[in-house]
A and B are shown apart, each in its own frame.
Chain A
Amino acid sequence: MDKRDVIVCRCSDLTLADLEALFNTGYKTFEELKRIARIGMGPCQGTTCGPIVRSAIHRRFKEPIERIPLHRARPFNIGIKLGAIKEAADDES
């Protein structure tokens, strides 16, 4: 199958060909790929693309798969409205 037809990241519309082009320019970790191409930053937050990217890194760089870290998760698994945070903060003071 043509690598241009293999979708790696549905949220940011990235193909396997895109991913390999990034490998070729020197990017080789999830954290770097995320910042250049927004992989892992869409609605799925890496739950779909994470394992796919990891196995692509494994195949390309021959790293043992268990040693390839996924991206760092930040606070908030579910979005909270700014207004709700303000209201709670106002109540306290």
Chain B
Amino acid sequence: MNPKEARIVIIGGGISGASIAYHLAEAGCTDVTLIEKGYLASGATGRCGAGVRQQWGTRLNCQMAKESVAFFERAEEILGYDGDVEFKQAGYLIVGTNEEEDARFAENVALQQALDIPAEHLTPKQAKRLIPHLNTEGVTSATFCPTDGHLNPFLMTDAFYHAASERGVRFKTYTKVTDVRVKDGRVAGVETTAGDYPADVIINAAGGHAQLVGQMAGVEIPVQSQNREILVTEPIEKIQDPMVISFSRNIYCQQTPHGSFVMGRGDNRPSGYTTESSWQFLEAMAQTAVTLLPPLKDLRVVRQWGGLYNLSPDRQPIIGGTEVEGFYIACGYSGHGFMLAPVTGRLMKEIVLGEKPSLPLEELSLERFDGEDTEAYEQSVV
């Protein structure tokens, strides 16, 4: 059978599912249906910190992020989108507070520069020049990449949605997948709250719920989901260009183009599916943010929310096939699926159509967890 004529069902209407839908339709697939239990970007995509960075600690994450940035820079043109996806490249400043981190920063920057990512290792004084209100007390060094930045998750998903719809993809929102039918070791279709969809190819892009969708097909995916919280302040005049993050202080914080500050932390939580807001987060977030960026003390918090990180054992995504023929997964992004979405869509298109992969897929495969501990572990995660 010509793979372009396969009946393809994508489960999940976040940025990953929308990008996969677009890339498949753009490549000529004629029968693509995306099924989403809520509305588009109602899961982790719409709850993320809206940051895009290329400063990673593994070669593969750096490559995927760099290629995604190249896509975002031309997203409106590539997708023929009338609106503005609000990609603002004001950089990411990553702040370190101990020698171990400084050493890792030096290694990361060397790796990033070798891949032509314009990151630099800075002294605290140089960092303060970029953000004058940064409290450098206890800061030992920093890294900065000027082409990292902010992207609007809702509008970027909307852009993929429009481009995919124009190419014939059907979007079924408010439709929940209740089971995945497997027959003789290969997929047969999905059952949903709005009827059955026969399928030759099923792609699990269910984000925080990817493990549950995997179980429906009898595929055990070694990921877990954890609630990660964020808050947003009132909008004010522009005072901060780059996103500021720190792994040791446990914070990411940026001023959005709208003027509000969005900030979050990565506190380890029990695995599960709650996205509740807690006072523990609020207190820790306020302490961390006001200490590192003192003028923020006068900003009013207007809202907080939670979203699911889908964590893989090595904090790199899982993209590829499974032991069930026709069942593919794109999950385990560990908090950075939003910013890698263009590459997710392209790789999944290559896999489904049997094309030559443009990146080393074995490092992203589900099988990599079969053996010993994996070598490339991404440490640069908040």
- Please list the residues of chain A having a beta carbon within 8 angstroms of any beta carbon in chain B: 25-27, 29, 31-32, 35-36, 38, 74-76, 79-83, 85-86, 88-90, 92
Quick one: which of B41, B42, B155, B297 contacts A82, CB cutoff 8 A? B297
CB distance from B298 to the nearest CB of A (A): 6
A92 and B282 CA atoms in complex are apart in Å by 14
Residues from chain B with a CB closer than 8 A to the CB of A88 are 283
- Please list the residues of chain B having a beta carbon within 8 angstroms of any beta carbon in chain A: 39-42, 46, 154-155, 158, 161-162, 165, 171, 173, 233-234, 258, 277, 282-284, 286-287, 289-291, 296-305
On whether the beta carbons of A35 and B46 are closer than 8 Å, the reply is: yes
Residues from chain A with a CB closer than 8 A to the CB of B298 are 81-83
On whether the beta carbons of B42 and A86 are closer than 8 Å, the reply is: no
Residues from chain A with a CB closer than 8 A to the CB of B301 are 76, 79-82, 85
A90 and B300 CA atoms in complex are apart in Å by 18
User: Given that A36-B155, A74-B277 are known contacts, is A79 also in contact with B302, CB under 8 Å in the complex?
Assistant: yes
CB distance from B192 to the nearest CB of A (A): 18
Closest 5 pairs between A and B when the two form their complex, measured CB to CB: A79-B300, A83-B297, A89-B283, A85-B286, A74-B303
Residues from chain A with a CB closer than 8 A to the CB of B299 are 81-82
User: Given that A36-B158, A75-B277 are known contacts, is A80 also in contact with B283, CB under 8 Å in the complex?
Assistant: no
CB distance from B37 to the nearest CB of A (A): 13
On whether the beta carbons of A82 and B286 are closer than 8 Å, the reply is: yes
A90 and B284 CA atoms in complex are apart in Å by 10
Residues from chain B with a CB closer than 8 A to the CB of A81 are 297-301
CB distance from A83 to the nearest CB of B (A): 3
